Structure 1
Amino acid sequence: MKIKNYLMRYLAGIVVISSFVMCTKTVTPVEKPASPNPDNIAELTGNNTEAITGCTYTVKTTDWFVDGATIPAGSVICIPAGTRGALLLKNLKGTAAKPIVIINKGGKVTFTTAATASYAFKTQNCQYFKILGNGTPGVTYGIDINGGNIGMTMDDLSSDFEISNVEVRNSGFAGIMAKTDPTCDVATQRGHFTMRNVSLHNNYVHKTGGEGFYVGNSFYAGGSSLSCGKVLPHDVIDVKIYNNLIDSAGCEGIQVGSAIAGCEVYNNTVTSPGLSPFANGQNNGIQIGEGAGGKCYNNLIKNAPGNGIIVLGLGDNQVFNNFILNSGANGIFADSRYTPGPNFQFINNTIIASAADGIKMNSETIPMNTVINNVIVKSGSGVAIHKISNGVKLTASNNYTGNDITALKFANYAAGDFHLLSSSPLINAGTNALLYGVGIDYYGKTRPSGTAFDIGATEY
C-alpha cells in the first residue's frame, strides 16, 4: 500500500490514517529566523566531547530558531538548563573532523510543546553534527524532549549526525525520526541525496504515539506517486541504532527502512511497543523494513502485541542473539518484498511464549532462509518454524523446541538473568555459527566457550 504525503496524527482533532507499515506526519516550514547570540567562545579539539570547556554559541530560552550559516565547523552550541519551547536548527555545516556539537549546559534542558505541534526539536539541512545530552556530569539524559508530533526530527537533507543521552516522551507520533521524504524537488530523491553516518545511541524513548525510532522511508521499491510522477526515497548508508531504551511506543519500537548498507540495530531494549497502532501490522517490536539490510542482534524485545521482529529487508539480513519474549503474534516474521539479496539468516535467537508461531516465514522469493541454533519454546500455535508454502526455501538445524521454559535452565529467567546454568540442555548442542560471522553471545561473550556452540542467545 502506498501513501502520498505525511499528515500529522492530530490536526484539528482528526486522527491520522496510516498504511500497513508506516505512520504519518507533516512538518511546518520555517517562517522566520532568530538572531544569532555568540557567547563564551572556547576551543574544541577534534571529536572528543571531553574537550568541551565553553560555548561558541548559546541558545537563548526565547529562541525558537537558529540559522547556523555563520557558525563554523567545530563549534559548540550550548542550550542552558531549564524549560523552554521547541527549537529548529538550520544550515549547520560541520565536517567529519570538526562536527558541530549541540549540548546541554548546567543541567537538564527540557523542550516542552503540545503533541499537536509539528516538532519539539528539528534539524533542517544540517550535516556533521552531534546532539549530546551528556553535558552535565551525573545527568544521564540532559536533553529532554517532551511533546511535539515528532519529538525529534532530522529532516530536510540532514545527514552525518549523532544523537545520544536524550530522553524523548509524549510525542503525538514518532519519538526520533531521521529521513527526508521524497518530493518533486529532485534534491530529495534517490541518486541525488544519501543520508549517511547516523548514530542513535543511549537514548530513552517512551510514551510515543507512533514509532519510537523511525529511520528511513518505508517504501523503498515503490516510492511515492506525486504530481510529478513516481519519486523514490533516498538511500541510508551506515546507520547504527544501539543501547537505547524504548518503552510504550504506539507503533514499532524501532523501524528502519531504505538502509541499503551498513545498517546495525543492536543492544536495544524494546518493551511494550505497539500500544496504539494507527493500522494493523504496526504493533511489532523491531521492524527491519523494505530496502534495509544488515544486522539486528543482541536486542531484548518484550511484550510486543504483534511480531517481536519483522524482517522485510533486502535479503542480506542477519538476525541473531535476540531475546524475544511474549509476542502477541510471531516471535520473528519474515516476508520477501524487495529482496535482491541471497539470504535471511536467523541464528542463535531465543524466542519464548509467542502467541502464534516461533518463526513464521512468508519469504518465498528469497533464495534461502537459514534458521539454526534458535531456542523456540512455548509457541501458542505449537509450531516452532512455519513455512507459508513449499516455495519457502529453508536450511534449518540445531534448533531447540519445546513447551517448558524451566527446562532451559536460565540463572533467573523471571528477573531477566539469561545466563545458562551448567545443567542447561542448550550447552554445546549447536552448530558452528562462526561460518555466518556470529562470534559473540547476547552478553558479548566469545562463542564458542566450550567444545561446540550453545543454542540460543547466550553462551555458557
Structure 2
Amino acid sequence: MMQYKLITVLITSSLLSGGVIANEDCGCDFTLPSSHYAFDGAAQGIMPGQTLCLAAGQRGPMKLSNIHGTASEPVVVKNCGGVVETIPYHYAISIQQSSHVNLSGTGDADNHYGLRLGGTLGIEKRSTDIEVNNIEIYQADFAGIMAKTDPTCESDTQAGNFTLANLNIHHNWIHNTQRGEGMYLGYTGHYRTLVCDGVEQKVYPHDLQGLRVQHNLVHNTASEGIQANALSRDTLISDNQVSLYGQDPFAVYQNNGIQIGGNQVVLENNVINTGSGNGVIAIGQDIRIKNNTIINAGSYGIFADNRPAEGTQMGQAGLPHQYINNTIIDSTEEGIRSYVRLTYGANLVWGNTMINDGQPNQYGAAKFIHYLNNDVLRDEQNNHHIIRN
C-alpha cells in the first residue's frame, strides 16, 4: 500500500517527482511515476472517463490491473511529458482483469510513438475491450503483442463464459521480435487437456469478436507478422504493412505474414513483403481477402483451407471465401492455393494478378492459382498471370 499512497500524494501536488511534468499539462487524474511498476485501478478508485498518466522517462515493466471504463467513457492510459521507454525485459506492460481501456502513446505531440516498449505488451486475465495505439514495441522475447486468456480449470476463462471483444490495435510499430510473432491474438488450438479436481477434461478457449487491426507497421519478426485465431465474427485486418516475417520461427510453419483462423474476417489493403512462409494463411469460413499486395512470399501468396469434418457433404461446410483484386508478386509457389471445399456457394476469385518470372513451381505447374479438387467450388473472373521479361 505504500506505493499507492505515494501515488496519491504525487497526484495532489503540482509537479511529479523530480519536478519535470505538471499534471495539468496532460489532463491526468492519476500518475504512475517512473519508479513504480504497478497500478491497481480498484485500489486507487479510478473511474470511467479518467486518465492515468505514465511519467516520461526510462522505467521497468508495469502491471496495470482492475481498470474498468465503459464503452462511452474508457479509461485512458498514456505517456505524459515525453516518451516512456521500458528497459528490455520479458514483458513491458501487462494489462490484467481490465476492460474499456485505451493504452495510447499520444501524450506528447512531438513523438508519434510516445510509448516505447522493450518487451511484450500482454492483454490477459480476462481483459477485454482494449484499444492500443501509437506504441513502438521492439525486441520482445516472444510476441510483440500477446492478447489472450488461456483457458484453465476456472470456468470464467473458458468459451461461453468469457469473450475477448472489441480489441482495437492501430498505428503501432512492432519490430525485431526475438522468437515469436509481431502480434499473437487469440488462443491457438481448439482446446487444452487439463486435470481439474482430479479429472482429466478438455477446456475450450474464448472467442475474439469485433477485432480491429489497422495501420500498423510490423517488421522483422521471428515468426508470423500478425497471427489472429479463434475469430468468431466481425474481424477487420486492414492497411497494415508487414515485412521480413518468419525470419527465425520457433517451430515449423510458424513463419507466415498474416495468419488468420476463424470466421467472418475481412483482410484488405495490407502490404505483405518478404518472408519465409505464406504471405497469408487463412483457415475458416466467410473470409474475404481483398486488395492486398503480397511480395516475395517464401511459399504461397495466399493459402486457404476450411478443414471440413470427415463426412461433410457438399454445401454443408459453411460460407465460402473471397479473393478479390489482390496483387501477388514473385511468390515461391502459387499465388493462390485454395482447399476451401464443400461450401454453401462458390468461392469468389475475381480480379487477382500474379506477377513472376514464369518458372514452374516444384510440381511443374504455373505459379498462378491452384485448387485442391472439384470440391472447391469457385467463380473465377478476370484473373491475370503476368510473366516478366
**What range describes the TM-score normalised by the shorter chain of this pair?**
0.7 to 0.9
2:266 is the alignment partner of 1:295: yes
2:207 is the alignment partner of 1:235: yes
Residue in structure 1 matched with residue 182 of structure 2 by the alignment: 212
Residue in structure 2 matched with residue 436 of structure 1 by the alignment: none
CA drift at 1:393: 2.1
CA contact (8 A) 1:257 1:292 kept: no
Residue in structure 1 matched with residue 39 of structure 2 by the alignment: 66
- From the superposition, tell whether residues 231 and 33 of structure 1 become closer, same or farther in structure 2 (CA, over 3 Å): farther
Residue in structure 2 matched with residue 383 of structure 1 by the alignment: 367
> TM-score if structure 2 supplies the norm length?
0.87
After alignment, is 32-41 or 87-96 more displaced? 32-41
Residue in structure 1 matched with residue 114 of structure 2 by the alignment: 142
Secondary structure, counterpart of 2:113 in structure 1: coil
Unaligned 5+ residue runs, structure 2? Answer: 14-23, 310-316
CA drift at 1:292: 4.0
AA in 1 matched with 2:183: F
- From the superposition, tell whether residues 238 and 338 of structure 1 become closer, same or farther in structure 2 (CA, over 3 Å): farther
Residue in structure 2 matched with residue 309 of structure 1 by the alignment: 280
Residue in structure 2 matched with residue 226 of structure 1 by the alignment: 194
Secondary structure, counterpart of 1:101 in structure 2: strand
Residue in structure 2 matched with residue 185 of structure 1 by the alignment: 154
Secondary structure, counterpart of 2:166 in structure 1: strand
CA contact (8 A) 2:26 2:81 kept: no
CA drift at 1:338: 6.0
CA drift at 1:354: 0.5
Residue in structure 1 matched with residue 350 of structure 2 by the alignment: 372
- 1:294-373 maps to which residues of 2 (within 5 A)? 294-313=265-284, 315-337=285-307, 340-367=317-344, 368-373=346-351
Secondary structure, counterpart of 2:156 in structure 1: helix
Deviations 1:366-410 (A, max 9, x none): 443221100012165223111123332222121011212x8xxxx
CA contact (8 A) 1:34 1:67 kept: no
CA drift at 1:33: 9.2
The CA RMSD measured in Å over matched residues stands at 2.0
Q: Report the Cα distance in structure 2 between the residues aligned to 1:316 and 1:52, rounded to whole angstroms.
A: 47
Residue in structure 2 matched with residue 23 of structure 1 by the alignment: none
Q: Report the Cα distance in structure 2 between the residues aligned to 1:184 and 1:317, rounded to whole angstroms.
A: 32
AA in 2 matched with 1:225: T
Q: Report the Cα distance in structure 2 between the residues aligned to 1:386 and 1:237, rounded to whole angstroms.
A: 31
Q: Report the Cα distance in structure 2 between the residues aligned to 1:366 and 1:190, rounded to whole angstroms.
A: 26
Q: Report the Cα distance in structure 1 between the residues aligned to 2:160 and 2:11, rounded to whole angstroms.
A: 41
CA drift at 1:282: 0.9
Secondary structure, counterpart of 1:246 in structure 2: strand
Q: Report the Cα distance in structure 2 between the residues aligned to 1:319 and 1:352, rounded to whole angstroms.
A: 16
Secondary structure, counterpart of 2:208 in structure 1: strand
Q: Report the Cα distance in structure 1 between the residues aligned to 2:51 and 2:367, rounded to whole angstroms.
A: 55
Unaligned 5+ residue runs, structure 1? Answer: 1-31, 43-50, 407-460
Secondary structure, counterpart of 1:187 in structure 2: helix
AA in 1 matched with 2:240: N
CA drift at 1:281: 0.9
Residue in structure 2 matched with residue 249 of structure 1 by the alignment: 221
AA in 2 matched with 1:391: D
AA in 2 matched with 1:385: I
- 1:38-57 maps to which residues of 2 (within 5 A)? 38=8, 39-40=10-11, 53-57=26-30
- 1:398-413 maps to which residues of 2 (within 5 A)? 398-404=382-388
Deviations 1:210-233 (A, max 9, x none): 1101111122xx311111311111
Secondary structure, counterpart of 2:161 in structure 1: coil
CA drift at 1:197: 1.2
AA in 1 matched with 2:368: A
CA contact (8 A) 2:287 2:321 kept: yes
Which residue, out of 86, 95, 98, partners 1:111?
Answer: 86
CA drift at 1:52: 8.1
Q: Report the Cα distance in structure 2 between the residues aligned to 1:93 and 1:178, rounded to whole angstroms.
A: 17
CA contact (8 A) 1:40 1:54 kept: no
CA contact (8 A) 2:26 2:80 kept: no
Q: Report the Cα distance in structure 2 between the residues aligned to 1:52 and 1:374, rounded to whole angstroms.
A: 51
AA in 1 matched with 2:162: F
After alignment, is 97-106 or 375-384 more displaced? 375-384
CA contact (8 A) 1:293 1:316 kept: yes
- 1:414-453 maps to which residues of 2 (within 5 A)? none
AA in 2 matched with 1:83: Q
AA in 2 matched with 1:245: L
Secondary structure, counterpart of 1:255 in structure 2: strand
Secondary structure, counterpart of 2:255 in structure 1: coil
Residue in structure 1 matched with residue 57 of structure 2 by the alignment: 82
Q: Report the Cα distance in structure 2 between the residues aligned to 1:268 and 1:41, rounded to whole angstroms.
A: 42
More strand by share: 2
How many residues in Structure 1 have an aligned counterpart in Structure 2?
A: 356
CA drift at 1:345: 0.6
> TM-score if structure 1 supplies the norm length?
0.74
Q: Report the Cα distance in structure 2 between the residues aligned to 1:52 and 1:162, rounded to whole angstroms.
A: 23
- From the superposition, tell whether residues 63 and 392 of structure 1 become closer, same or farther in structure 2 (CA, over 3 Å): same
CA contact (8 A) 2:267 2:290 kept: yes
- From the superposition, tell whether residues 306 and 288 of structure 1 become closer, same or farther in structure 2 (CA, over 3 Å): same
CA contact (8 A) 1:75 1:100 kept: yes
Q: Report the Cα distance in structure 2 between the residues aligned to 1:334 and 1:398, rounded to whole angstroms.
A: 20
